[in-house]
Chains A and B, each alone.
Chain A
Amino acid sequence: MKKNKVLLLSLAAALMLSAVTACSGNNSNNTDKPTATNAATGDNGGSEPTKEKVTYTIYNGVAGSKDGNTNETTIGKMLEDQTGVNFKLEFLVGDLNTKIGTMIAANEYPDVLIPDAAMEEVMNAGAFIPLDELIEEHGPNIKRVYGNKLDQMRSADGKLYILPIAAQVGEFIPDPEAGAGFWIQRRVLEEAGYPVVKTLDQYIKLIEDYEAKHKDEKLTGLISLTHDWRFFATANPPMHLMGYPNDGNVMINGDTLEAKTYAGDEATKKWLKTLNDLNAKGLFDKASFVDNYDQYIAKLTSHNVLGFFDYKWQVDNALNVLKDAARKDPSLDKYRYFPLPITFDESITDAYIDAEGGVVTNRGIGITVSAKDPVRIIEYFDNLLKEENQILTSWGIKGETYEVNEEGRYYRTQEQIDKINEAFNEEFGFKYYSWNWPMYGANSTLSDGNAKGVAIQPEVFQMSLTEADKAILGKYGVQTYSQMFAKPVFRPWYPAWGFAKEQNSPEIMWETKKDELTKKYYPKMVLADPGKFESVWEDYMKEFGKLDTAGYEKWTTEKAKAKVEAVK
C-alpha cells in the first residue's frame, strides 16, 4: 500500500512538473510575440520598391484550388514581370477554425491571410496590420476601386485591417442567368402554353395540373434541398416570396433599414402550409428531408421532378447534365428547368436577382504581422486592380482567350470556349485569380463598356444558348433568364448575411439555435397530417419564442444602418 502511495505521489509530482514546464513554455511564446511584430514593422521602413524577385505566402481559408505558385500560371507570370512578386498559395484542406487557431496560438502567419469565416477571430488576435497608410501611399487603384466602401470594413478603432474581396465598379450589369428562383420543368410550361406565372398559388397549380394529367408517369411535384448546411434552400423561400433579396435570416426594409427575421413569421407559415398541402396530395417528395446533396442532384436529373426552389450555384451540376443531354438530343429539352419569379402575391415585386449592394464585410484579405514587406504586397494588390489587369484575370489575353469585335465588344469564339476547360483554367491562372483577391465585382462595367465578368457579358451569354433556350425565352419575350425577374434595386447594405459576426456572440448563438429549430420542426410541419399543422406550428413558435429574436433584429438593423451610413 505504501509503495502504491509513493508511486501515486510521484505520478502526481510528474504531472505538476509537466504542468509547470508547460506553462512556462507557453509563457515564453508570448515574449516572442512583440519581437515578431517589431521585426515585421521594422522591415517596413527599409523597403523601397526594389524590383528584385520575391516570393510571399498566402494562406487561403477557403478550400479552393490546389497549392502552387502564382508565377507558374500565365497570368501570374505576367503579374510577376510587372511587380517582381510571386505568391506561394496554400489552400485550406481541413477545418478552418482549427487551422486558424493554431496559427494564432503560435503567432506565426503567412504574409497574406484570407481568413474567410474566421475573420473576426484573426482580427481579434491582432494578426493584421492596418492598411490605411499603405493604401494612402501605395494604393491609388485601391482607392479608386473601393472608394468609400472601405469605410464599411473599418474596425471599431476606425482603422482598416482587411480589404474586401470584390467591389462594384461602374454600372451594375445583372447576371443574365437567374441566380435563384422557383424552377419548373419546361414541359410543364409547354403543355400549359407558356403562361405568365407570378404567384406561388399559380406555380403550385401548374404543377398539380400537370401531374394530374400524367398520373401514370409517377412524377414528383416538388422537392426541396435540406442536407446539412444547405438547409437554407428550404428555409429561405419565405423571404423571396415576400419580395426580398437573399439577406440570409432577415428581410430589410429599404426605407427604414429595419431588419426583420422571418423564421417565425406568417410568411414562413404560409410557405410550410403550402408544402404541407402538397405533401397531403402526395406531390411533395417526403425523402427531401432525409436525402443528401448527391441524392437531391440525382433526383433533379431523373426527369421525374417537376419543380423546386434553389439557388443556381447549388444546382449547376444538375442543370449542366440536363443541358448537355439536351444538346445531344433536343427532345430531352423538355426535362430542363426554367426559372420563375414567384412571390406570394402579384402585387409583390420579386427580388431574386442579386442586386448591387455594398461590399461583403465578413470576408476579405489582409496582410499579417508576419509579412516581410507589406509595401510590395499592397503594391501588388494595387497593380492587380489596374483595369488592364482586371481584364487579364477575367478575360485573359486578347487573341488567345477572347476577341474584340468592331464595336469594341469582348467575346469568345466557340473555339476559345471549348479550349478553356478546367485544365486550362488552372494552367492559365483563371482559377487562381477568379476569386479571393482584391478585384472588381463580376457585375462591374469596364471603362470601355464591357462587362468585367465573362459570363455577365451579353454576347457570351447569347452564345451559350441553345435553339430551344432561345425559343422558350422568346415565348416570354425576353433575351436572358434574369429578364424574367424584376430589375434589381440598389441596396447599399446588401448582403446582410455578410455582416461580420463575432464568434460566440449572441448573434451566432441565435443563428445556431434557430437553425436547429427549423431543421427539426420544418419537416414535422410539412409532413404533418394537415389537421395537425396548426398545433405543430404552435409547438415550433413556443420554442422559437425562447430565442432573443428582437436582439438579433436590433443588431442587424444597427449593422445595416452603419453600413449604409459609411457610403453616404
Chain B
Amino acid sequence: METNAIETTSMPPLKEKPKGIKLFFVKLLQQRALVIMSVPFLIWLILFKYVPIWGWTIAFQDYKPALGFWDQKWIGFHHFEFLFGDDRFLRVLRNTLAMSAINLVFGFLTAIILALLLNEIRKVAFKRVVQTVSYLPHFISWVVAASIIQTTLSPDGIINELLVWFGFVNEGNEILFLGIPEYFWTIFGASSIWKDIGWNTIVYLAAMTTIDPAQYEAAEIDGANRLQKMTFITLPGIKSVVIVLLIMNIGYLLESGFEPQYLLGNGMNVDYSENIDIFVLKYGIAQSNFSLSIAAGMFKTVVSFILLFVANNVAKRMGESRLF
C-alpha cells in the first residue's frame, strides 16, 4: 500500500504538488469516473451489509423479538459462555475445522486438477459434454443427494455389493459406512467433491481463457511436453485466481457447511459429524434462541478476520497476488 501511495504521488506532474488531504481530493476529482463507478455501491454496501450489524448486540441480550432495542435485557457474555463452556465445544470445533480443511484442500485440488485435465481434451464436443455432465450434481439439493449417498452406502448398497463381489468383505459382514464415526469425514469429503467438482472447475476454466495461446506455441517449439506445459504455462496462468480464491476460502475455515452433516449425520457418527452450525441449530435456532446463533456468528467472524489477514499477509510476503 505504501509503495502505491508513493507511486501515485510521483506520477501526475502538477504545477504545485498538493499534499495530504488536498492531494487526496485532487486525485479524487481526477478519478471521478472511478468514484462514480464505486462510491454509489459503497453506499449500497453500508446500507445493506453494515447497517444490520447492530444486530450483534443481540448476542449480549436475552433477546426477545417483541421488545425494542432499549427494552432488551442485557446479559453480557452469557451466550458466549454457553457456547464455549459446553463440553462438546472443542469437539464440535475440531469437526468443523477438519471438515472444512478437507473441503478446502481436496475441493481445491480436485477442481484444479479436473480443470487442467479438461483443458487437455482436444475434442471440443467431448469436453463440453464432460463439463456439462460433471456440474449436474450441483443442481441436486443436499436432501436428495444425501438420500442417494445413504442408499449407495447402505449394507445392501452398491459399494458393499462391490466389496463382497471382489471378496474384500464377507457376505453378512457388510460395512455400515455411516455407522463408523471415523469414516464420516471421508464420506463427507468425497460427497462434497462429487457434488461440486464440476461446478468448482468453471472458474478455473474461465481463468485459463486468459492464457495467451502464443505461450503454448512457443513452449512447443522449445519441445515442452504436456506435463511441462501444464506446470509451466497453465498453472502459472491461473495462479493468481487460485491464490485469491484460496485466501477467501481460508477466511471461511469455520464454515464447513451444514446440510451434508445434518443429513448424513446420525447418533452413531455424531462425534465426528456434529459441527458448530448443527450445535447452534440444536441449542439456538430450534429453540428460537436468536442470541446464540449471533454469538456463534460473531465468533466465526472474529476467527475469519484473523485467518483472512494472516493468509493475505503470507501471500504478500511470498510475493503472490493477494486479496487486498
Q: Do chains A and B touch in the complex (CB under 8 A)?
A: yes
Binding site for B on A (CB under 8 A): 1-4, 14-15, 18-19, 21-23, 26-27, 29-30, 33, 95, 97-98, 100-102, 104-105, 107, 118, 121, 124-127, 226-227, 231, 282, 286-287, 289-292, 294-295, 503-504, 508, 512, 516, 518-524, 527
Query: A29, A30, A227, A527 — which one has the most chain B CB atoms within 10 A of its CB?
Result: A30
With both chains docked as a complex, state the minimum distance between the C-beta of A75 and any C-beta of chain B, in angstroms. Answer: 34
Q: Which of chain A's residues have a CB closer than 8 A to the CB of B260?
A: none
- A522, B287: Cβ atoms closer than 8 Å: no
With both chains docked as a complex, state the minimum distance between the C-beta of B132 and any C-beta of chain A, in angstroms. Answer: 29
- B267, A522: Cβ atoms closer than 8 Å: yes
- A125, B66: Cβ atoms closer than 8 Å: yes
A546's nearest neighbour on chain B, judged by CB, is B87
- B24, A3: Cβ atoms closer than 8 Å: yes
* Contacting residue for A512 out of B24, B46, B287, CB 8 A: B287
Q: Which of chain A's residues have a CB closer than 8 A to the CB of B1?
A: 4
Q: Which of chain B's residues have a CB closer than 8 A to the CB of A516?
A: 270, 282
- A18, B150: Cβ atoms closer than 8 Å: no
With both chains docked as a complex, state the minimum distance between the C-beta of B40 and any C-beta of chain A, in angstroms. Answer: 15
- A286, B155: Cβ atoms closer than 8 Å: yes
Query: B5, B266, B288 — which one has the most chain A CB atoms within 10 A of its CB?
Result: B288
Counting from the closest, the 5 A-B pairs by CB-CB distance are A30-B68, A519-B267, A125-B66, A22-B54, A104-B65
- B150, A14: Cβ atoms closer than 8 Å: no
Q: How far is the CA of A524 from the CA of B154 in the complex (A)?
A: 18
Q: Which of chain A's residues have a CB closer than 8 A to the CB of B54?
A: 18-19, 22-23, 26
Query: B176, B177, B266 — which one has the most chain A CB atoms within 10 A of its CB?
Result: B266
B47's nearest neighbour on chain A, judged by CB, is A18
Interface size on B, residues (CB 8 A): 45
Q: How far is the CA of A29 from the CA of B54 in the complex (A)?
A: 15
B272-299 vs A, CB cutoff 8 Å, 1 = contact: the mask equals 0000000000110111111000000000
- A295, B151: Cβ atoms closer than 8 Å: yes
With both chains docked as a complex, state the minimum distance between the C-beta of A155 and any C-beta of chain B, in angstroms. Answer: 15
Q: Which of chain A's residues have a CB closer than 8 A to the CB of B267?
A: 226, 231, 289, 518-523
Q: Which of chain B's residues have a CB closer than 8 A to the CB of A524?
A: 268
Q: Is B133 an interface residue (CB 8 A)?
A: no
B292's nearest neighbour on chain A, judged by CB, is A504
Q: Which of chain A's residues have a CB closer than 8 A to the CB of B69?
A: 23, 26-27, 30
- B266, A512: Cβ atoms closer than 8 Å: no
Q: Which of chain B's residues have a CB closer than 8 A to the CB of A290?
A: 150, 154, 176-179, 266, 268
User: Which positions 45-63 of chain B face chain A at CB distance < 8 Å?
Assistant: 46-47, 50-54
Q: How far is the CA of A27 from the CA of B147 in the complex (A)?
A: 46
- A504, B288: Cβ atoms closer than 8 Å: yes
* Contacting residue for B64 out of A100, A124, A291, A512, CB 8 A: A124
- A107, B66: Cβ atoms closer than 8 Å: yes
Show 13 A/B contacts (Cβ-Cβ < 8 Å), sorted by A.
A18-B47, A30-B67, A33-B68, A121-B65, A125-B66, A231-B267, A289-B176, A290-B176, A503-B289, A504-B288, A520-B270, A522-B267, A523-B267
